[in-house]
């Protein structure tokens, strides 16, 4: 698994309520289990060619309620395999947020991020300390912390990877 402790990538800036049907429509997500096939439809509802325009390590910046709607884990999977390395949003919908950590895609909640990042600007994220830096403005932001077991699972690359390494589920620690 690639090291996701430090991420550097350029920003794609979106608004509020980017829902799971925008991220990947049902008719595409329900017909394959192959993550690279799912990646071809990442952000299809915004731009069907989005997956061709992403560079590896690009970061999504969004407003409120990113990932609202369906429970589809294929939504963070499609983004991850299309090359998105992290998502920073003012807030996340509940199931999407859990799913992102489960599949090893950093999802950082930073309410103050609104208006602080322009399209294509470069960001540097330290996943271990929850810090995000806009490398042009040098402004730094601190993301909302998650329970330690979620953080550990994320750094291992997700729930499957964590389980295969430790032979137990991350929330069973006590």
Partner 1 sequence: MQNMTSASLQRQQQHQSQDTSHAKTILNDNSLTIAEKLISIKNVETKSVSMPGDIVIVSVDLAMAQDSTGPLAIRSFTEMGINKLYDPSKVLLVIDHTFPAADEKVANLHAMMRDFVSKHNCLLVEGSISHQYILEYLAVPGMMILGADSHTCQAGCLSAFATGIGSTETAAVWATGQLWLKVPDTIKINLSGIFGKGVFARDLILDYIGKVGEDGANYKALEWKFSNENIRKEFTMDSRACISNASMECGAKISVFPNDEVTTKYLEENARTNNDLKSIKIQAGASAKYEDEFEIECNKIEPKVSGPDNIDNVHSVEELSNMEIDQAFIGSSTNGRIEDLEIAARILKGRKVHKNTRCIVTPASVKVYEDAIKRGYVETYLQSGAVFTNATCGACVGTHLGALGENEICLSSSSRNFVGRMGALSSKVYLASPATVTASAIEGKIADPRKYF
Binding flags for partner 1, 102-131, as an x/- string (CB under 8 A)? xx----------------------------
Q: Which residues contact 68 (CB under 8 A, 6 or more apart)?
A: 17, 18, 19, 20, 93, 96
Is residue 73 near partner 1 by the rule CB under 8 A? yes
Using CA atoms of 40, 44, 5, 33 in order, give the dihedral in degrees to the nearest 10: -50
Is residue 7 near partner 1 by the rule CB under 8 A? no
Whole-angstrom distance, CA of residue 68 vs CA of residue 31: 21
Is residue 144 near partner 1 by the rule CB under 8 A? no
Interface with partner 1 by CB under 8 A: which residues?
A: 17, 19-22, 25-27, 29-33, 44-45, 48, 64-65, 68-74, 77, 91, 93-95, 98-99, 102-103, 147, 149, 158-160, 163-164, 169, 171-172, 174
């Amino acid at each position: 698994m690639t090291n996701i402790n430090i991420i550097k990538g350029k920003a794609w800036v979106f608004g509020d309520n980017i829902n799971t049907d925008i991220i990947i429509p049902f008719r595409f997500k329900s017909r394959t289990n192959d993550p690279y096939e799912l990646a071809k439809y990442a952000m299809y509802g915004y731009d069907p060619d989005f997956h061709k325009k992403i560079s590896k390590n690009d970061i999504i910046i969004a407003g409120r309620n990113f990932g609202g709607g369906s429970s589809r884990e294929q939504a963070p999977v499609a983004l991850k395999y299309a090359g998105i390395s992290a998502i920073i949003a003012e807030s996340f919908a509940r199931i999407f947020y859990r799913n992102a950590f489960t599949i090893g895609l950093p999802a950082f909640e930073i309410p103050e991020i609104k208006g602080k990042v322009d399209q294509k600007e470069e960001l540097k994220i330290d996943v271990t300390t929850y810090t995000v830096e806009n490398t042009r403005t040098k402004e730094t932001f601190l993301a909302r912390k998650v329970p330690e077991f979620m953080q550990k699972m994320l750094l291992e690359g997700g729930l499957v990877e964590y389980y295969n390494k430790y032979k137990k589920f991350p929330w069973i620690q006590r």
